Amino acid sequence: MATTLADEPRQDFGAHGGATHDVTNQPPPLTPYDASEDTALLEGLRREGGGWAEGELRRVGRLAGSAQVQEWSDQANRHEPELRTHDRYGNRVDEVEFHPSWHHLMGAAVAEGLAAAPWADDRPGAHVVRTAKGLVWGHTEAGHGCPTSMTYAAVPALRRQPELAEVYEPGLTSREYEPGLRVPAGKRGLLAGMGMTEKQGGSDVRTNTTSAAPTAEPGVYTLRGHKWFTSAPMCDVFLVLAQAPGGLSCFLVPRVLPDGTRNTFRVQRLKDKLGNRSNASSEPEFDGTVAWLVGPEGQGVKTIIEMVNCTRLDCVMMSAALMRKTLVEAGHHARHRSAFGARLVDQPLMRNVLADLALESEAATTLTLRLAGAADRAVRGDAGEAAFRRIATAVGKYWVTKRGPAFTAEALECLGGNGYVEDSGMPRHYREAPLLSIWEGSGNVNALDVLRALGRDPATAQALFEELALTRGADARLDAAVAGLEDQLAEGSQAGARRLVERMALTLQGSLLVRHAPSAVADAFCATRLGGDWGHSFGTLPAAAGLDAIVGRALPDAG
């Protein structure tokens, strides 16, 4: 006779049915933690002239690592922005609605001076402080770093048209976040975006087709055309490239005109992106859109490059922040998870992985702060630092952002399966990483920009080699790398640009670490990245490397 399930004897799980769900050997939550607890960062801050803000940085670090802010970061990505093109009556509104957590993050970031506040701060080191805070605040959520970065970067470009800067700069440099489309001059705080990329070309903006027709009022034009990418479309003002009678020019486009009417800014749709999902990236169209000329007609690229110089530094900063955040997560997991009878952090091979990641992270952080120091001194008139900044920012943007995806993938793997699950936050960081090497000049474009700088301005190469000369004789592998670089420079071919820029970046990072990091860090970096004693993945440091010292410096709790 056939039996049914109902006939089967029942197993008695007794009162301990819940025992199947005991949670053991899982790490406790990382939060709350202090995201500024990073020796390399604090040393760099002091060295580059921002030590006066150490207290502020520590406060931002505790805020960034708080459970509340980490929750906002997660929520802002889960609840993506929504575009409302029309109201219920059919009128165009072109507004994007964000989850409250986005606004909380924006409010905190602007209040901490992560938008354009340093331009209103005369203290030497103000730009270094902003970058250091960005490294720490980067432990939260990367998407909202887009509008704060563009707002920071818009100011030097806008200053090319002083009467416009006079009107808009106070709002852009404000520490108040006031969302909503209103007349910019009446708002307590403003945000700026940029519109360069069009369907037919992003890197090659000379192909821009958006046209700018002069009106009867001097300096005022009307735009017609489209942009293929314009992020953060709820910003108050945008710097936009368009073809004027005198050639490609830069314009200021406010979303609301001084008389309170809406400027024409049709948001056709939002991009469905790999990552960066809290941030809205839009495709706007202009039709009779009122715009003010910034800088001379025909000098659009020269004007907007002032903005790009700053956003490129922020790409380096955000990549370094992603590295540090994912390293901290990996170290925390490895400290609390055991396998094969020992904590992961005590397993020699995991220690090698963590040490290798720590080296990469410190090299990225140290370079970021050196670039920020150069920017700070350049804007205060130091010509040598301006030349160094010109070349080293492009070098850093190429290399540090290129390392981001491989780094975050490896850090994610340290968490095993947990790292592949959204709850851990690691997939979000992993998805963000490739973006930083795409926008503000993709990898090839940055590498070619280094060749351009070398070709057009010999002071840039001189500034770089003067910096590298500071460590002459300190490490044979570094000396050999510098000598090799000098030979390679002479070649200067486009096909070899990545090879050259990669070597420049590694040599510069090696030199900075030899000067400023403990010998275990500098030695392991030079042995692997310059001396070639390394494999093709992270965790392949040579046996002689001081793994404990490297891990202990980066992750004191894991030492």
Ligand X SMILES: Cc1cc2nc3c(=O)[nH]c(=O)nc-3n(C[C@H](O)[C@H](O)[C@H](O)COP(=O)(O)OP(=O)(O)OC[C@H]3O[C@@H](n4cnc5c(N)ncnc54)[C@H](O)[C@@H]3O)c2cc1C
Site for ligand X, rule CB under 6 A: 193-197, 201-204, 229-231, 273, 276, 281, 435, 438-439, 442-445, 448
Smallest distance, ligand X to C-beta of residue 223, A: 14
Distance CA 333, CA 343 (A): 9
How many C-beta neighbours within 10 Å does residue 85 have? 13
- What's the DSSP call for residue 253? E
Distance CA 121, CA 352 (A): 43
What is the signed CA dihedral for 212, 215, 218, 221, rounded to 10 degrees? -30
Closer residue to ligand X in complex, CB, 424/446 = 446
Closer residue to ligand X in complex, CB, 115/526 = 115
Smallest distance, ligand X to C-beta of residue 37, A: 31
Closer residue to ligand X in complex, CB, 205/480 = 205
Angle (CA) 108-110-112 rounded to 5° is: 70
Closer residue to ligand X in complex, CB, 118/202 = 202
Smallest distance, ligand X to C-beta of residue 276, A: 5
Secondary structure tally for the chain: helices H, strands E: 17, 12
Closer residue to ligand X in complex, CB, 228/525 = 228
| Residues 6 or more apart whose Cβ sits within 8 Å of residue 541 | 352, 355, 356, 359, 524, 527, 528, 534, 547
Nearest position to ligand X, beta carbon: 202
Distance CA 359, CA 89 (A): 58
**Distances in whole angstroms, Cα of residue 366 to Cα of each of 313, 334, 400, 517:** 13, 25, 11, 9
Q: Which H or E run contains 84?
A: strand 82-86
- Closest by Cα among 284, 210, 289, 201 to 249: 210
Smallest distance, ligand X to C-beta of residue 200, A: 8
Phi, psi of 557 (to 5 degrees): -70, -20
Closer residue to ligand X in complex, CB, 172/358 = 172
Smallest distance, ligand X to C-beta of residue 278, A: 11
Smallest distance, ligand X to C-beta of residue 272, A: 11
Q: Which H or E run contains 77?
A: helix 67-78
Closer residue to ligand X in complex, CB, 60/500 = 500
Smallest distance, ligand X to C-beta of residue 77, A: 14
Closer residue to ligand X in complex, CB, 84/206 = 206
- Closest by Cα among 103, 262, 253 to 181: 262
Closer residue to ligand X in complex, CB, 418/442 = 442
Smallest distance, ligand X to C-beta of residue 288, A: 21
Smallest distance, ligand X to C-beta of residue 547, A: 36
Closer residue to ligand X in complex, CB, 304/359 = 304
Smallest distance, ligand X to C-beta of residue 501, A: 13
Place of tokens 């920017």: 375
Distance CA 354, CA 328 (A): 10
HEC assignment per residue over 463-509:
HHHHHHHCCCCCCHHHHHHHHHHHHHHHHCCCCCHHHHHHHHHHHHH
Smallest distance, ligand X to C-beta of residue 203, A: 3
Place of tokens 């006066």: 52
Closer residue to ligand X in complex, CB, 277/553 = 277
